[in-house]
Structure 1
Amino acid sequence: MISITSTELNYLVFRYLHESGFTHSAFAFGYEAEIDKCNSVDNMVPPGALVTFIQKGIQYLELEANLSGSDADVDEDFSFLQPLDLITKDPNELQNMLKSKKENLRQQKFESNKIMNDLSQDDTRRERVQETEKEKAIEHKMEKKRLEKEKEQPKGEYKEIQHTYQNHTEKHEDKVTVENLENRAHGGPEPMEISQSPMSLPDDTQCDDVKILNGHTSEVFACAWNPSAPLLASGSGDSTARIWKIADKHWDSGVQNEPVNVMVLQHFRESTNEKAKDVTTLDWNGDGTLLATGSYDGQARIWSRDGELNSTLNKHKGPIFSLKWNRKGDYLLSGSVDKTAIVWNIKTGEWKQLFEFHTGPTLDVDWRNNVSFATCSTDKMIHVCKIGEYRPIKTFSGHQDEVNAIKWDPTGSLLASCSDDHTAKIWNLKQDNFLHDLKEHVKGIYTIRWSPTGPSTNSPNQQLVLASASFDSTIKLWDVELGSLLYSLNGHRDPVYSIAFSPNGEYLASGSMDRYLYIWSVKEGKIVKAYTGKGGIFEVNWNKDGDKVAACFSNNIVCVLDFRM
């Protein structure tokens, strides 16, 4: 019996194979493993072991040659084998093992790729759903910012976006949860629960309480009550605005079915008589004598409340998504996807000043007083401007994504903003940074509203509240002084595009793509009335007396809810 250690034997075998052109280290490991097993008792190698290993080395040279003759990666192929396999199996068995393991690996890779592809498709579908939600709003005043991504036509005209609104058929959950976070923070009662479905609320609106206004032939995107007369204006994708005369009394079944007097305001291109694109926004002046409409064709139009066209304001190069009268009513402010804001002199029918400070589409504008205002944009910036000044008098930066809406509080001292970065912020002109950063939403915030309460209002003893509505389907009410959350109103199932406080500040109306119009008690944080339409809701608006709420829908109708508690 030859006395030789495993180390010596391995070295001899390794040198033999190496000098024979066989270089794979896997075999040396295989030999070492087998020899170590042999030596575990007496550190002796059985007779013939060296010859056996050398013979196997010659066989592996043959195996390597066969593999090298193909397109295979030899080192990669041998990595599929265990050291013991190299010692105990002949080349044919090893080749079969390689084929089997490689086939298994291909199958695993295929299944893994399929799973990853499915996950990727799921992510893409989710992204498409989110983008669709945004596009619905952008196309007509709602979610306007994606318009910047649309390519311009050769002549510089903006492409018309297709309407892709879908019918929403999801049922509501049987429970609407309303969290009173302030009470919880101070040891008060636990969050309240309204255990009934919105469809079966005790005061769910009956048909006699709702008047349906038919006439538009496309989605209705905007509505606004006249501040001095029982008139309701609506703007639609059918290239018209309409002024409806609404009975100024409580409705019974007879009144509800009475025909409504309506004036149709046709929007045409002056030069070609071609129909304009959608009427995206509208606003009455302070005394209710004039109605301003903004259109997708970039023109603003001024109408009398009798439906006569007084003037056409033409300077914007892209769709108008926001326009507001100042309090005095001598200036009209418009914001456009062309990145500009324009102040118009209504007496002359001409533009007074062009403001070109944003680097992206202007999404919203709001007057602070008769001569100063704020604008916001997809460029994440907010500018406070003043007529006669040729640079912003204040610029606020702090949002991390597009700023969708801005609103001054009733005193003009605080400015609220909301963004796709999931936050709302409160600013004042005395400091550069935000006063409060409101972070409770989990998706982008589409719109905000101040309550008509607090100093300088008709309800000076009531708390000033800020409401925010989000793509996360919730509405949140904020304590402005503390910057804390008062209520989270969790009744809707789809993005909430519009909210509006009643004139006395006691109620909040909300409209969503889930087809529901809710009226909430601000004090109690609960639903007091509900109405279900047959299309998504783009805007809600209270009349001057606070006894009627209008809502405009994606299924071409406007409804008026008679609200008397």
Structure 2
Amino acid sequence: MDHTLRISADEVNCLIYAYLLDSGFTHSAFAVKMEGQLDRSPHASKHIPRGELIELLAKSLLYLEVESHWKGDAFTTHCKAGFSLLEPHVCSPEATGEKTVQIPPGPAVLNETSVQLAKANGLLGDPIAKRKESPTALPTEGPAEKRAKRDPDDMEIDPSLDSTKANPPAVEPAKPVNILAESINKKPAKPKPRQQGPGDDTTNSKAILLLEGHKTEVFVCGFNPVKHELLATGSKDAVVNLWNLPKSPEGPDNFATPVSPTVIDYFAKPEQGDLTSLHWNVDGTLVAIGSYDSTLRVCTSSGSLYFSNPQHQGPIFTTRFSKSGKWLLTASLDGTACVWDVKDKRLHKQYRCHTDCCLDADWLDDETFATGGADHVIFIMRVDEPHPLKRLTGHLHEINQIKSNPSGTRLASCSDDMTARVWNISNLRSSEESIPGLVASEGVVVLEGHKHSVTTLSWCPDPTLGPHPLLATSSFDNTARLWDSVTGECLKVFTDHKRPVYTVSFSPDGRWLATGSGDGWLHIYNVLAKERRWSWYAGAERPGVFEIDWQVADGINRIALALECRLVAVIDVTKIPALQEDPTLLRRTGKAMYAS
């Protein structure tokens, strides 16, 4: 039977786009999406499992192994040369280069059974005239999205199968390794995946409420600052859910029950609407939503649309209400920032300062704000002035996030240049002409130590927990760090995560620091002791923890997590034994630690 194999450029572009998103290269992914016109692609709505491109490439290397070694003669039997996607394979008895597909010790030969199996699956043709068509992917077990993902260097082949001993090779006898049959029929035994749940044996798993309702990955979450029972979450398919959470029941054995959300869905093209940000105003009456479809949307706390506007010409990365709620600030990939008059539902002013994407923005006070861009620059702006008040330079790569401290005296920024910086803006209100610390050479504290892009940061809400205000950063180097924001000293490196750390957040009282990672773990650290006290695992399938929001109010103490597995987790901190510690004792211990 003739099977025509086709690989379209559109399919390849979709795989590359998914790979770039998985790797954290958001802006490169957007460029591929726009240049390849993937919005018009029939594959745009299809789910591409995490790591799919890498898995397909790994399978192609397995095919190359079969194609090169199917004869099983003495030369191929003793071949130790590696296989590469970028170089042709030449059999050699000496190891050359890095071996992507690792094979256990012993001669690797394909016996007759292997060859027949290969032919039956269309992987090998007649030995005299090999097929020239593109190889067919190896058969898989179950839907692709249900399979455990493997890195190329984890793809070891089990050598236990020996289906025939007829016609032994003309070399020293040894147990053959049936590479193809094993890769198809018998996968190497792996440890049983860890189940979703707490990392200790003392926490009741019912203390974590799992909310089902999203159909794709959940990217953002935020508690309402006034209506404490209200939680907003947003997912990749452009849907925002409003959850009316029950108050934590009294008693250690009483737990909240799942609820159904109010669904906000005002997006005409969900495939273009990946949500990037949610922010409530100070009154808790409005929530601003930013997404990849370039349209700003503001909704009421009941879910109705307050207003929308398509002013931006690129994805909106940030939505931020001013402290009074009068203004709304947005930052976009189109290189501009916009200030919106919330009451009048209109654009107040659009600022075109950056020469590249405007990636983040934050308010310094109710009339002053800062923007950071891919052009490595931070601008200080005022609402009614068209030109920047100050231009801050020093970063060597694009700026991922900027955030003002609670008192408005310092501005922190983090970048792909592997550093974070703290800028002194304490004299901003008193002088417009000479502001110490607003240039790279004066009054700037550079936080160095991360080995990869620094992606998020968080200020400790309590400035009295140390001699100076504390700042936390997270990075794609799999670590989070705690810093003295004045001296620049790294106080602690948290190394428990095994994959990039996506989010970092202090508790509202500053006592705890929570981190979430692509490895599926939430870790909570005691800030004064600088020790991990509790952990929770999101599960082996789609494990990422994308965002954390922590709420403490009116006897409520809980954490919301936006999860890659399409769930929202709400953790009742009052029912976590490891987090019930004496704050007075901890504060006293912490002061002694800093004094020493």
Q: Compared with structure 1, are the counterparts of its residues 134 and 475 closer, same or farther at alpha carbon in structure 2 (3 Å cutoff)?
A: farther
Distance of 1:382 and 1:450 partners within structure 2: 18
Question: Equivalent residue of 2:22, what SS?
Answer: helix
> Of the candidates 449, 452, 472, which is equivalent to residue 443 of structure 1?
452
Q: Give percent identity, aligned residues only.
A: 32
1:77-476 equivalences under 5 Å are 135-136=21-22, 144-147=26-29, 149-150=31-32, 152=34, 165-166=50-51, 202=200, 205-229=203-227, 230-250=229-249, 256=255, 258-269=257-268, 277-429=273-425, 430-431=436-437, 432-433=439-440, 435-454=444-463, 463-476=468-481
Q: Compared with structure 1, are the counterparts of its residues 473 and 154 closer, same or farther at alpha carbon in structure 2 (3 Å cutoff)?
A: closer
Q: How many residues align?
A: 400
Distance of 2:334 and 2:197 partners within structure 1: 43
Give per-residue Cα distances to partners, 1:138-182, cap 9 Å, x unaligned: 5xxxx64334533636999899797653588799xxxxxxxxxxx
Question: Equivalent residue of 2:34, what SS?
Answer: coil
* 1:258 maps to amino acid: T
Distance of 2:237 and 2:39 partners within structure 1: 19
Distance of 2:28 and 2:237 partners within structure 1: 21
Deviates more, 1:367-376 or 1:158-167: 158-167
Partner of 1:503: 508
Question: Equivalent residue of 2:261, what SS?
Answer: strand
Answer whether contact 1:168 1:514 (CA < 8 A) is retained: no
Distance of 2:330 and 2:304 partners within structure 1: 21
Q: Compared with structure 1, are the counterparts of its residues 150 and 309 closer, same or farther at alpha carbon in structure 2 (3 Å cutoff)?
A: same
Question: Equivalent residue of 1:208, what SS?
Answer: helix
Give per-residue Cα distances to partners, 1:466-500, cap 9 Å, x unaligned: 00000011110001121101111111110011111
Q: Compared with structure 1, are the counterparts of its residues 287 and 163 closer, same or farther at alpha carbon in structure 2 (3 Å cutoff)?
A: farther
> Of the candidates 512, 519, 524, which is equivalent to residue 524 of structure 2?
519
Question: Equivalent residue of 1:544, what SS?
Answer: strand
Answer whether contact 2:221 2:560 (CA < 8 A) is retained: yes
Deviation at 1:377, TM superposition (A): 1.2
- RMSD after superposition: 3.1
Q: Compared with structure 1, are the counterparts of its residues 448 and 158 closer, same or farther at alpha carbon in structure 2 (3 Å cutoff)?
A: farther
Deviation at 1:136, TM superposition (A): 3.3
Deviation at 1:349, TM superposition (A): 0.8
Distance of 1:250 and 1:462 partners within structure 2: 38
Distance of 1:364 and 1:164 partners within structure 2: 29
Q: Compared with structure 1, are the counterparts of its residues 200 and 149 closer, same or farther at alpha carbon in structure 2 (3 Å cutoff)?
A: closer
Answer whether contact 1:168 1:515 (CA < 8 A) is retained: no
* 1:487 maps to amino acid: K
What 5-or-longer segments of structure 1 have no aligned partner?
1-128, 172-197
Q: Compared with structure 1, are the counterparts of its residues 154 and 214 closer, same or farther at alpha carbon in structure 2 (3 Å cutoff)?
A: closer
Answer whether contact 1:157 1:318 (CA < 8 A) is retained: no
Distance of 2:304 and 2:485 partners within structure 1: 42
Query: RCO greater where, 1 or 2, for CA within 8 Å and sep 6 or more?
Result: 1
Deviation at 1:504, TM superposition (A): 0.4
Distance of 2:249 and 2:468 partners within structure 1: 30
Answer whether contact 2:362 2:404 (CA < 8 A) is retained: yes
Largest Rg, 1 or 2: 1
Deviation at 1:536, TM superposition (A): 0.5
Answer whether contact 1:250 1:562 (CA < 8 A) is retained: no
Q: Compared with structure 1, are the counterparts of its residues 158 and 508 closer, same or farther at alpha carbon in structure 2 (3 Å cutoff)?
A: farther
Answer whether contact 2:197 2:205 (CA < 8 A) is retained: no
TM-score (norm 1): 0.65
2:513 matched to 1:538? no
Q: Compared with structure 1, are the counterparts of its residues 291 and 221 closer, same or farther at alpha carbon in structure 2 (3 Å cutoff)?
A: same
* 2:567 maps to amino acid: I
Q: Compared with structure 1, are the counterparts of its residues 338 and 494 closer, same or farther at alpha carbon in structure 2 (3 Å cutoff)?
A: same
Partner of 1:75: none
Deviation at 1:318, TM superposition (A): 1.1
What 5-or-longer segments of structure 2 have no aligned partner?
1-14, 52-146, 152-195, 426-435, 575-579, 581-596
* 1:554 maps to amino acid: E
